[in-house]
Amino acid sequence: MTQLIKERQQELKRAELEIMQILWQLEAGFVNDILESMPHPKPAYNTVSTIVRILEKKGFVGHRSFGKSHEYYPLIDRDTYTGGFMSSVLNNFFGGSASRMVSFLSHNNSISVEEADEILQMLKDQK
């Protein structure tokens, strides 16, 4: 199951992730609900509908039918997705080394020394 989740995450594109973020926030919604939650300029209804159906085919989204309408809901929660995504980043870019990732982030000014110390403290607390 974990491998399947990792494969799903590698396939997610920017527009798909944007819609997943909205569905995680809404917990469930029709295409119009998703569209209303999107920033301007909003895509066409058919574009959102197509992306939702792609997410459904990929196994990220399920639906409940109400006549000809469908209410969509996430099949994978945000934390599971984030965990798999971050594991993929860690393994693919940093050889599985969290210290190499923290070093990269600190050298590129993505995190401050204080944030790095907080990360180290969290890791110590988990032991």
Q: Give one DSSP letter per residue of 64-114, joined into a string.
A: EEETTEEEEEESS-HHHHHHHHHHHHHHHHHTT-HHHHHHHHHHTTSS-HH
Task: Identify the weakest region by mean pLDDT among 5-9, 50-54, 67-71, 80-84.
Answer: 5-9
Residues 14-42 have a mean pLDDT of 96
- Predicted confidence (pLDDT) per residue in 92-120, tens digit: 889 988 888 878 877 877 787 788 788 77
Cβ contact 63:75 at 8 Å: no
Please name which of 67, 72, 85 lies closest in space to residue 6, comparing C-alpha atoms: 85
**pLDDT band of 1, cuts 50, 70, 90:** very low
* CATH architecture of residue range(s) 2-74: Orthogonal Bundle (1.10)
Q: What are the beta bridge partners of residue 73?
A: 62
Q: Which residues pair with 70 in a beta bridge?
A: 65
Ordered by start, the domain boundaries in the chain are 2-74, 78-126
pTM: 0.76
